């Protein structure tokens, strides 16, 4: 914890200044700002980084709901900051609009964005053109489940698995960030994944390495093909489909003996009719220098999760959500089956994606 002290102080200072900006914009039209608002924002300025710090301690399980409340406040803060920026723009115009609108807007959108906790991940269907031998094949992708977050536990994962079974896929892919808590605490929560009977494939994301633990062995025990710069070949209608996978691009920063090498993963002497690459980040498409694939399935971006963060994600990744053709490769970015931090989404969704070849 000591090595995190300076970054935490910096983050807390920045959060305090941003909270002050929100307070200033929200009270712009008040001659006497309401005391309750100042107290609420002041408490939130401490509560948000405090809950993040608690989530990294041994108290995280006992204080799970306190941490969850902190994450919710984080989401409210993001939404309030967006409306505060809009209020700042309004204040520069010759308009008479009372600044209290942003408090109501923040409240309404925050409540709306929490609806995902009731709806759960939605099944989203896409049709894909491919070679004749793949016609009718149903490939299901889940990504960024973040199991171990305060309200993404075994019951929630069982709901995801039940919806996967309802979708009746031929193949199931997990493209990283499956977990978000210490190994010993989270590993037992993954048991429902053993109920998936279709051939299933897994690659790691950055959060598996942040949290530590032998997730590869755990997923192997659950019946998954763990793809680390490797591939599996599946025969279908007398032709071959290659499914390759790489660990997260930043894996070398956590395990010096491991790298993310999609060229190595895709290389084969077999005559295959279609190649799918699983990679946690869409930007892995730029790591391909020799080999090519037909489809790259990725996650990581969460679609931005809470508007307008997709704008900032776009600065780091070539695609935030959906399909984009890059260097002749069809790249798909999954919006995430779960979420990180705030259990909230605005202009994005939690999804279970099914691709059907036509």
At 48 the pLDDT is 84
Using CA atoms, how far residue 153 sits from 107, 147, 190, 284, in Å, is 27, 6, 9, 29
Give phi and psi for 196, each to the nearest 5. -75, 120
Check whether 81 has a pLDDT greater than 90. yes
Superfamily in which the 117-357 domain is placed by CATH: Metallo-dependent phosphatases (3.60.21.10)
| pLDDT digits 0-9 by tens, 229-288 | 999 999 999 999 999 999 999 998 888 888 999 999 999 999 999 999 999 999 999 999
On the question of pLDDT at 8 being above 80, the answer is no
- Do the bridges between strand 200-203 and strand 225-226 make them parallel or antiparallel, or are there none, so unpaired? parallel
CB 113 within 8 A of CB 344: yes
Which pLDDT score is estimated for 23? 95
**pLDDT score of 1 more than 60:** no
- Output the pLDDT for position 252: 86
| pTM to 2 decimal places | 0.93
Calculate mean pLDDT across residues 286-301: 96
Intervals of CATH 3.60.21.10 along the chain? 117-357
Angle at 125 between CA 122 and CA 129, to 5 degrees: 160
The whole-chain average pLDDT of the chain stands at: 93
pLDDT tens, 173-217? 999 999 998 999 999 999 999 999 999 999 999 999 988 889 999
Res. 3: pLDDT tops 70: no
pLDDT of residue 2: 59
């Amino acid at each position: 914890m000591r090595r995190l002290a300076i970054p935490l102080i910096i983050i807390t200072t920045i959060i305090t200044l941003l909270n002050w900006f929100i307070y200033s914009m929200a009270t712009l039209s008040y001659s006497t700002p309401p005391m309750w608002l100042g107290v609420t924002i002041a408490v939130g300025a401490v509560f948000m980084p405090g809950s993040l710090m608690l989530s990294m301690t041994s108290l995280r399980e006992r204080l799970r709901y306190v941490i969850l409340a902190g994450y919710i406040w984080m989401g409210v803060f993001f939404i309030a900051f967006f409306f505060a920026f809009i209020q700042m723009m309004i204040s520069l115009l010759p308009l008479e609009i009372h600044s209290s609108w942003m408090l109501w807007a923040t409240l309404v959108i925050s409540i709306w964005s929490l609806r995902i906790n009731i709806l759960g991940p939605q099944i989203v269907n896409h049709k894909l053109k491919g070679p004749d031998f793949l016609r009718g094949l149903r490939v299901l992708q889940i990504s960024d489940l973040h199991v171990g977050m305060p309200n993404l536990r075994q019951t929630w994962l069982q709901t995801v698995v039940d919806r996967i079974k309802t979708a009746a896929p031929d193949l199931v892919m997990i493209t990283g960030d499956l977990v978000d808590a210490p190994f010993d605490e989270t590993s037992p929560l993954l048991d429902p994944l053993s109920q998936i009977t279709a051939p299933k494939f897994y690659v790691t994301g950055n959060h598996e390495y942040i949290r530590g633990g032998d997730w590869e062995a755990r997923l192997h025990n659950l019946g998954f093909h763990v793809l680390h710069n490797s591939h599996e070949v599946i025969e279908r209608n007398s032709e071959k489909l290659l499914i390759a996978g790489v660990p997260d691009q930043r894996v070398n920063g956590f395990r010096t003996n491991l790298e993310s090498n999609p060229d190595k993963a895709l290389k084969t002497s077999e005559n295959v009719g279609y190649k799918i690459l699983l990679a946690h980040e869409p930007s892995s498409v730029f790591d391909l220098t020799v080999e090519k694939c037909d489809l790259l399935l990725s996650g990581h971006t969460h679609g931005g999760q809470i508007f307008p963060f997709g704008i900032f994600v776009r600065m780091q990744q070539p695609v935030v959500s959906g399909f984009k053709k890059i260097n002749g490769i069809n790249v798909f970015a999954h919006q995430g089956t779960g979420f990180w931090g705030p259990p909230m989404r605005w202009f994005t969704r939690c999804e279970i994606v099914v691709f059907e070849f036509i």
